[in-house]
Amino acid sequence: MVTTSQAADALRQVAEEAASCTRCELYRRATQTVFGEGPVPAGLMLVGEQPGDREDRAGRPFVGPAGRILDAALAAAELDRQEVYITNAVKHFRWTERGKRRIHQRPNAEQVDACAHWLEHEIALVQPRVVVAMGATAVQSLFVGRSTISRLRGRVQQCRFGVPAVVTIHPASIVRLRDSDERERAVEALAGDLRMAAETAAGAGEP
């Protein structure tokens, strides 16, 4: 049986291997690999799309505008960010240049498939009771076949890695909302999905 210490050590080794990943072409333009972070084991694992500009520079997931929305939703759900494992389906930043800005581009299917190798290792070692798929790319990585957020949201189901999963929107979609009331409702809806995931995880941990 693998101990917590052994799992944490193994995850650090996987992160070191991912730092030199060349499984797809995204490594050529990204600043660095942005691996997941959080406790091992963790009741909840949150999976986003890919690092953004801030994350690519900092080397940490969800530290930019989408990260602030995620933090607000976690607080509304009464969850401590330090107690959840946070990662992305794709570990390198895909971007296009617009003037002096680096603009996010959604990863394609080949890039998502290439990076599933690392996500599978994370899930195996973090051993989450529930995975939260945030956004369409996370859904693409975690589920077999073509599924939409609207079709999967609101219920718990098994992802392709054999772990219960909850589907929700990506926090970045809330960043783009102009209306403050609409943004507040979206944050609360995201928090509701996180609460459902946390309650499921708590139930799974009961003897």
pLDDT value for 206: 57
pTM, full prediction = 0.96
Residue-wise burial string across 58-76, b where 16 or more C-beta atoms lie within 10 A, e elsewhere: bebbbbbbbbebbebbbeb
Nearest to 80 by CA among 125, 128, 42: 42
**Looking at residues 154-158, what average pLDDT do you find?**
95
> Can you read off the two tokens belonging to residue 127?
């051993």
**182 three-state secondary structure:** helix
What's the CA angle centered on 53, arms 51 and 58, to 5 degrees?
75
The CB density around residue 34, as the number of other CB atoms within 10 Å, is 27
Question: Is residue 147 predicted with pLDDT exceeding 90?
Answer: no
C-alpha distance from residue 184 to each of 48, 174, 191 (Å): 20, 9, 10
Question: Is residue 207 predicted with pLDDT exceeding 50?
Answer: no
- φ and ψ at residue 92, rounded to 5 degrees: -115, 150
Q: Are 76 and 83 in contact (CB under 8 A)?
A: no
Which tens digit of pLDDT belongs to each residue from 94-133? 999 999 899 999 999 999 999 999 999 999 999 999 999 9
Nearest to 118 by CA among 141, 84, 93, 152: 141
Mean of the per-residue pLDDT values for the chain?
96
Question: Is residue 2 predicted with pLDDT exceeding 80?
Answer: no
What percent of the chain has a predicted confidence (pLDDT) above 90? 94
Question: Is residue 54 predicted with pLDDT exceeding 60?
Answer: yes
CATH topology of domain 4-204: Uracil-DNA Glycosylase, subunit E (3.40.470)
**Looking at residues 165-173, what average pLDDT do you find?**
98
Q: Binning pLDDT at 50, 70 and 90, where does residue 145 land? A: confident
**Looking at residues 192-200, what average pLDDT do you find?**
98
d(CA 67, CA 52): 10
Domain boundaries, the chain: 4-204
Question: Is residue 72 predicted with pLDDT exceeding 80?
Answer: yes
Name the one residue in this structure whose structure tokens are 């994370």: 122
Four-residue CA torsion sign, 149, 150, 152, 155 = positive
Question: Is residue 146 predicted with pLDDT exceeding 90?
Answer: no
Amino acid (1-letter code) at residue 48: G
**Looking at residues 185-199, what average pLDDT do you find?**
98
DSSP string, 127-175: --SEEEEESHHHHHHHSSS---HHHHTTSEEE-TTSSEEEEE--HHHHH
Four-residue CA torsion sign, 111, 112, 117, 123 = positive
Least confident of 6-20, 35-49, 138-152, 172-186: 138-152
Q: Are 34 and 54 in contact (CB under 8 A)?
A: no
